[in-house]
Chain A
Amino acid sequence: MKDIIKSSSKAIKIPIFPLAIFLLPEGKVRLRIFEAKYLKMISIASNGQGFVIKLPKDSQKNSSATWGSLVKTEDFNQGEDGILEVDVKCLSLVKINDVSMNSDGLQFCNTKVFPHWSQQQYSQHQVAEHLADMLAGIMSEDTMLKHLYSRQLTQDPAWIVARWLELLPVSLAIKSSFVGNQDFNQAKNFVESIIHK
């Protein structure tokens, strides 16, 4: 059932999970799913095309189109309180179009994958070394992050800057601007202006 998600730019409508969380490609989060319609969504998503995490409208004001994070389920768990816990990973960012709602109140949309700077390769020296070191330190000390990223720690500059953007205590509207016009260098400069020695 895992690793069956290939592409989302087909005509199949994909379910939407509205959630105020900023997630770039390769980013991960553990969700707790308990509403019936979203349990259903997980079931639909596991058929192959994943689902889209969509930010509230007002936090997208700095980007030109409505976008979301297309995610796939990496792992399931059941919390001690019986609630389904789902670890998801962002595959890519998508433009959201043609949203409709089914009788359960679950929203579906057409998606179009668009490239983001966080998916490109940049040479090693383009990111300050301490950004990588400090990120690795934080991830190794946090139980949840350590679990989610156990096998994925990388030295890739875009990956490091993207993870920092997700973690920094900055509003979603600001974070969203790094999906709009802002490129890798601007994101890198922004993170470095906060995280330096």
Chain B
Amino acid sequence: MQTNLLCKETNAKSIKMSDEIDHPQLCLWLKAVSENRNKQAFTHLFNFFAPKIIRIARSKFPNEAQANEVVQETMSNVWRKAHLFNQDKGAATTWVYTVMRNVTFDMLRKVKANKEDNLSDDIWPIAEGLVSDDDAYEDHLETENLKAVIDNLPESQREVVKGFYFMEMTQEQLAEKLNLPLGTIKSRLRLALAKLKVKLGENHD
């Protein structure tokens, strides 16, 4: 079960902090990293995001080493890919959390790949143990704390924490699978949706 859940104090603090996010400043730091490889700006970004990432990651990976890996991997991707951030498309926080989400999914996939063989009946006792009443109640208050944190996260991040293996393809993945340019996929989707919307409109009349 989860062992590294958050206490009330950190929870309250994180909500307060999110009210005070200086978005223009975050954008300037990302810009400084992407254009000048500015280490000081990166340090500021690290100090801002690392504690937030580690809090989320610990709820996902009770193993501290894995949570630290999420921070490290996310922040090194931020360093390498800062030029891909476009402030017209969304907040810096959203972008960094998306990077984090991808890192988390990659790690979960690795975890899963290692576990591929472990699907026999011998996991049933474990599963039964997990859903016993005592465990559920013991966990209950901590889950409430976790829930409060989840509810305050941006949507993209909430998905990571809530957790299911996302199966819907991205436009990029679809283009790759069909061996077609991304532009072609986008225009096919646009056309198909436009046609459908006309039809749906007709149905309502």
Contacts and interface: CB of A to CB of B under 8 A. Distances in A.
Interface stretch (A6-14, A117-125, A138-146, A151-159): A138-146
Given A36-B136, A37-B143, A134-B177, A80 B114 contact: yes
A141 B169 CA distance: 13
Contacts of A80: 63, 111, 114-115
> Chain B's interface: helix, strand, loop or mixed, by majority?
helix
A168 B189 CA distance: 9
> Chain A's interface: helix, strand, loop or mixed, by majority?
mixed
A169 B168 contact: yes
A190 B61 contact: no
A182 B170 CA distance: 24
Nearest to A45: B131
Interface string B134-176: 0111011001001100000000000100111101111101100
A82 to B, nearest CB: 6
B188 interface: yes
Contact of A31 (B113, B163, B174, B193): B163
B204 to A, nearest CB: 9
A197 B42 CA distance: 46
Interface stretch (B21-29, B45-53, B89-97, B116-124): B116-124
Contact of B131 (A42, A104, A169): A42
Contact of A43 (B126, B131, B143): B131
Interface string B191-205: 111011001100100
Interface in A67-107: 75-84, 104
Interface in B72-95: none
Contact of B163 (A39, A76, A83, A104): A83
A190 B196 contact: yes
Contact of B130 (A75, A84, A137): A84
B17 interface: no
Contacts of B192: 190, 193-194
Interface in B29-50: none
Contacts of A75: 119
A76 B127 contact: yes
A104 B118 CA distance: 32
Contacts of B185: 194
B123 A77 contact: yes
Given A35-B146, A143-B109, A169-B170, A78 B130 contact: yes
Contacts of B168: 21-22, 166-169
Given A31-B164, A39-B131, 5 more contacts: A36-B137, A75-B119, A78-B118, A134-B177, A166-B168
Closest A-B pairs by Cβ, 5 of them: A32-B163, A43-B131, A76-B127, A36-B139, A80-B111
